[in-house]
Each structure stands twice: as structure tokens, then as C-alpha cells.
Amino acid sequence: MAGAPAPAPTKAVRLFIRGRVQGVWYRGWAVDTARALGLRGWVRNRGDGRVEALIAGPAESVERMIDACREGPPGARVTNVEVTPASGEETATPFEQRGTV
């Protein structure tokens, strides 16, 4: 008997995005992009000018989001995206925008 297909591998990462990424609709773009990819997590501005995101979901979709974050929306100019592994415990809800920290 054939069993159900194995679920897609999941992955969770934390991103710190540098460059001209605040005041250019980066967070709103990230929410739209992540939701279109079926991801969970959040995005927020940081007081030091970076954008931080916690992204979780199917590994392939997470990788696509990381690649997209390296470009960002049309008004952004991304200079660096730092990617570190994260736990998925904060990512149970649909992707959302959070307040600045």
C-alpha cells in the first residue's frame, strides 16, 4: 500500500536586511510576497535602519523569499541580507507586519 506523500521539508530563517529599506514600502512588499509564497512569520523595521524578518514554511518557498528579499520592492536598494537559522515557534500565524523595535 502506498502511503501519503511525505510533507515538504520546512525551514525557518531570520533575515536582517540592510540598505535603503525603510520608507520604501519594503515591509508591505514583504508581507505580500511572503503570503503569495504561502509562508508564515513576520517583518518589522529596526531602529538601526535595518529590516528584520522571520520566515518559515516549505524550504523551497523560504529560499525563493530570501532571493526576493535581496532585490526588494522597486524603491529599495538592498546592500546585504544576513540569513541565520531560526526556530519556527514564532511563525504559527500568517505572515504579518509588526511594529518597529
Note the pLDDT of residue 101.
92
Write the DSSP string, 22-84.
SSSSHHHHHHHHHHHTT-EEEEEE-TTS-EEEEEEEEHHHHHHHHHHHTT-STT-EEEEEEEE
| Interatomic CA distance for residues 53 and 76, integer angstroms | 16
Residue numbers annotated as active site: 27, 45
Which is higher by pLDDT, 69 or 7?
Answer: 69
Domains of the chain, each with CATH number or no CATH: 10-89 (3.30.70.100)
pLDDT reading at 92 higher than 90 = no
Note the pLDDT of residue 3.
65
Note the pLDDT of residue 4.
63
Note the pLDDT of residue 93.
75
Q: In this structure, are residues 86 and 14 in contact, taking their beta carbons and an 8 Å threshold?
A: yes
Note the pLDDT of residue 95.
94
Helix (H, G, I), strand (E, B) or coil at 96: strand
The per-residue pLDDT for range 16-46, each reduced to its tens digit, is: 999 999 999 999 999 999 999 999 999 999 9
